[in-house]
A and B are shown apart, each in its own frame.
Chain A
């Protein structure tokens, strides 16, 4: 557990991608099975514990700390695991957070026992140097004077990651709280933090599943995509994967008949690109405002069907879409857009959101928000991997596949006929009359795909382009600000803004949306300062800032679309709002009025 904790801690402070890769690869190389496999699973999101959840952690800390102080601390730190790790009373015999003392509590001496972070920097620069290990020994590593190992809070006994995973998997709801509490008592701050990260499932250390797979691939000197190929047939702790990479065993059989294949992504087209591109070499399609999915279906040797729906990052989202899974009754892998289609028209993203991120779906939702796949590519046809074929060939196969499937919930994304870029620009400006018809509301631009493009993982240059519809802009007035989480922790970074509307008592601002990105780090510092200096009221983590005609801050907000909404006072909901400019120069009285937005609503 110590080695794993230090890996996570070091990764959290390491901004350089290559150094992160080196750290992970070095850890995987020097850590025995099965610990390293569970660490890999943690970094790729492969560990899910039935009973160990964030709620349990909250309950444990609530028994040990003052609720108000916990809430304020959590709000400040912006990360549940870290807040609990820092606040956890280090001595089990002294659970009060209100320790008087002049700073000689267990926490202080415990810090002495921590391993200097520097020993991990070495790992970053000299990843290949094996002995001496850059990681602490299981006993807690480098001892410093004053670190008595019998002290409460010190890392005894040497808890392994494998023991932790087994405990979290196999313990029942009733025994789990006591088990976790005993671990938290035994670990130091970094160990507690890592354990809590593991339990809550959100590592947030700047390591994607892809990066972890790239690191593990380097053990065998192979490309990360080769790991992807076998990945979905493997289970933690991935013993056969490591055996293969280390040359001790053959390549694992991809036993999963419906694995994820890395998706092909596009580049945003720039104005200058059109001159260099030949329109006749491209196919154009609508860019649908849904979520990118890969639908894979295959047959096991025993004849049973396996069907999976993946997000573009390979996350299995099938549980939310049983209606889609039921429809995929042919072996193959489709690339397409997940949408909600009702009364023969594709609905807005706003409607689709009703179906997203749900663990279970009710029959009512299946009827009210019927899911649909608009397919634009075929990766596997039957058992044949056709990713190397050119797009024109794959398109023919796709058309045949869709007609064989003959499902009402899967159809083709139609091509847009165009002669030259001007014609395509005209179609993009008016999708409804260029073939999208009733679905035009769900179009957010065009896709351009080279007719000869193979299906390549990642974002290869020169094949696919997206040409998004121009964003709408509106000048709004900042009304409320809330502290952010994660990277933005402790900054006021979530902004609620409004526009003017007339009332019998005169003009007032009505909130129309909330945005938490679009600005640079430097702008965030300025916005944060503005919020702190212009606070009118505090409501917990939210601050109300000055917003009058004569004083306040105007934000130019960009957004993709607008829907009617009963949830917001203004009756409007923005799609994908972000701060496009901070108008320090503009008096709030000159910000936009609600009528300007209402004009943009679909009829």
Chain B
């Protein structure tokens, strides 16, 4: 699709540039979707989590890391044609300029800056502001419209510093030298971040991992993430892992697999652990409030930093965040996009190819 007329910023409406559709955000003048939840001809992907990065699109534009993560998860044939978006470089499609800027969520995660005729919209994907030794930090981009997630968009969510949560874990390991500490962590990003934080805290014993975490951890390591000595759990040797730290996908902490360790302490690294009922629902004894999403304070700070006059909220607690925007004079609307980490499970399950350890 091409636009015949030369527009000016004044007569451009935001809805001409980006519109929410059942498949995801769509940019009509460039005929391309952002993080589509169903197969489309052309897609831009913000990051590799399986609810944002799906297989089967005709062409994909994403950061090099995200493309590699998708290939790891879905196989090399996940798309017909891939194009690397260099961080900060402009890719022009039709009349629209696109730029990928780090989002601080997981390795390779990016915000997508969409600009046309002086109107600038930033689709931030998932993001966090807390320092993460395994990925580039979020860079705020001034814009007219800021599109944000709201996974933790309620004032009950204020994440404590991640290093203090890791200190809780290590204190427990010190106190129970005979028990295995099993830490549930999402296999892309959270698991490796926890490993790196454990290393920063000075713990240098091997960290053991579930098979479902292995491929991505190898990738992170090759990309330079300081994860240290990582070893796979050998099923037959689980009994001998008392006192060790084992990292596995969240679904595995309640599996029979986890019960073969000596007197395991069940931990789970997630922003959801802030709410007691959520920890109890998962049978977690040692909740670690470590999130790869911005908390309530950080969502607000980020919105203010962008200087945007209008805020679109894609998923999560969209109504609450949009309400807050209203109270500080910002125009805001919840998009209620379906398919992204539904409130209950904002951090995605492992992709199908990783389901079997």
Contact = CB atoms under 8 A, between A and B. Distances in A.
Q: Report whether chain A binds chain B.
A: yes
Interface of A: 9, 12-15, 65-66, 68-69, 72-73, 76-79, 82-83, 86-87, 97-103, 105, 107-108, 111-112, 116-119, 121-122, 125, 144, 193, 206, 486-491, 521, 525, 528-529, 532-533
Interface stretch (B68-76, B85-93, B214-222, B337-345): B337-345
Contact of B164 (A98, A112, A521): A112
Contacts of A144: 164, 167
Interface in B292-318: 295, 297-298, 300-301, 304, 317
A103 B160 CA distance: 9
Nearest to A66: B327
Given A73-B320, A521-B281, 6 more contacts: A15-B280, A82-B277, A97-B155, A98-B328, A103-B295, A533-B338
Contact of A76 (B156, B171, B175): B156
B274 to A, nearest CB: 7
B104 interface: no
Contact of B297 (A13, A103, A193): A103
B323 interface: yes
A108 B159 CA distance: 7
Interface string B143-164: 0000000000011111111001
B287 A13 contact: yes
A532 B280 contact: no
7 smallest CB-CB distances across A and B, nearest first, come from: A118-B172, A111-B160, A489-B277, A86-B156, A116-B168, A116-B171, A72-B320
A206 B277 CA distance: 11
A144 B275 CA distance: 23
A10 B165 CA distance: 16
B263 interface: yes
Contact of A13 (B176, B276, B298, B319): B276
A225 to B, nearest CB: 30
A203 to B, nearest CB: 12
B158 A105 contact: yes
A218 B263 CA distance: 24
Contact of A487 (B154, B168, B281, B323): B281
Nearest to B163: A112
B129 A491 contact: no
B301 A101 contact: yes
Given A77-B277, A98-B300, A98-B327, A65 B175 contact: no
Interface string B334-354: 000010001110000000000
Nearest to A84: B156
A119 B280 contact: no
A220 to B, nearest CB: 29
A83 B161 CA distance: 21
A546 to B, nearest CB: 13
A86 B319 CA distance: 19
Given A12-B280, A108-B160, A121 B285 contact: yes
Given A13-B279, A119-B171, A68 B301 contact: no
Contacts of A87: 155-156
Contacts of A529: 342, 344
Nearest to B286: A117
A395 B129 CA distance: 73
Nearest to A124: B285
A112 B285 contact: no
13 contacts: A13-B279, A72-B319, A86-B157, A98-B300, A98-B327, A103-B129, A111-B160, A111-B161, A116-B172, A125-B179, A144-B167, A487-B281, A489-B277
Is chain A's interface secondary structure helix, strand, loop, or mixed overall?
helix
Contact of A86 (B130, B274, B284, B327): B274
Contact of A65 (B155, B168, B263): B155
Contacts of B323: 66, 68-69, 72
B265 interface: yes
B323 to A, nearest CB: 5
Contacts of B157: 86
A62 to B, nearest CB: 14
Nearest to B272: A490
B298 A116 contact: no
Contacts of A489: 275, 277-278, 281
B297 A117 contact: no
B269 to A, nearest CB: 13
A124 B209 CA distance: 26
B16 to A, nearest CB: 28
Contact of B155 (A73, A193, A486, A491): A73
A122 B178 CA distance: 12
Contacts of B171: 116, 118-119
Contacts of A103: 129-130, 158-159, 295, 297-298, 301
Contacts of A102: 129, 297-298, 301
Nearest to A68: B323
B129 A528 contact: no
A353 B115 CA distance: 63
Given A13-B287, A533-B338, A490 B304 contact: no
Contacts of B94: none
Contacts of B129: 102-103
A121 B265 contact: yes
B342 A69 contact: no
B317 A100 contact: no
Contacts of B130: 103
Contacts of B279: 13
A341 to B, nearest CB: 41
A118 B168 contact: yes
Interface string B106-143: 00000000000000000000000110000000000000
Nearest to B171: A116
A111 B263 contact: no
A289 B336 CA distance: 46
A486 B277 contact: yes
Contacts of A532: 338, 342-344
Interface string B74-101: 0000000000000000000000000000
A69 B283 contact: no
A264 to B, nearest CB: 32
Contacts of A97: 155
A194 to B, nearest CB: 11
B185 to A, nearest CB: 17
Nearest to B319: A72
A490 B344 contact: yes
A533 B275 CA distance: 24
Given A12-B276, A102-B301, A489-B275, A125 B287 contact: no
Contact of A119 (B175, B179, B320, B338): B175
